Homo-oligomer: A and B are copies of this chain.
Amino acid sequence: MATEIERKFLVNGDKWRTLGTGIIYCQGYIRTTNETTVRIRIVGERGYLTIKGLTVGTSRPEFEYPIPIEDAREMLNTLCERPLIEKIRFRIEQGGLIWEVDEFLGENQGLIIAEVELTDENQVIELPDWIGAEVSNEPRYFNANLAKYPFNKWTT
What are 14 inter-chain pairs, A to B, with CB distance below 8 A?
A: A1-B74, A30-B32, A30-B36, A31-B32, A31-B33, A49-B63, A53-B78, A53-B79, A61-B74, A61-B78, A63-B67, A63-B71, A65-B65, A65-B67
Contacts of A92 in B (CB 8 A): none
A34 is an interface residue with CB less than 8 A from chain B: yes
C-alpha gap A75/B119 in the complex (Å): 22
Q: Give the Cβ gap from A67 to chain B, nearest Cβ, in Å.
A: 6
A5 is an interface residue with CB less than 8 A from chain B: no
Between A30, A49, A53, the greatest number of chain B beta carbons within 10 A of the residue's beta carbon is seen for A30
Contacts of A38 in B (CB 8 A): 30, 32, 38, 51
Chain A, range 1-60, C-beta contacts under 8 Å to B: 1, 30-34, 36, 38, 49, 51, 53-54
Q: Given A1-B74, A30-B32, A51-B79, 9 more contacts at CB 8 Å?
A: A30-B38, A32-B32, A32-B33, A38-B51, A49-B63, A53-B75, A54-B78, A61-B74, A63-B67
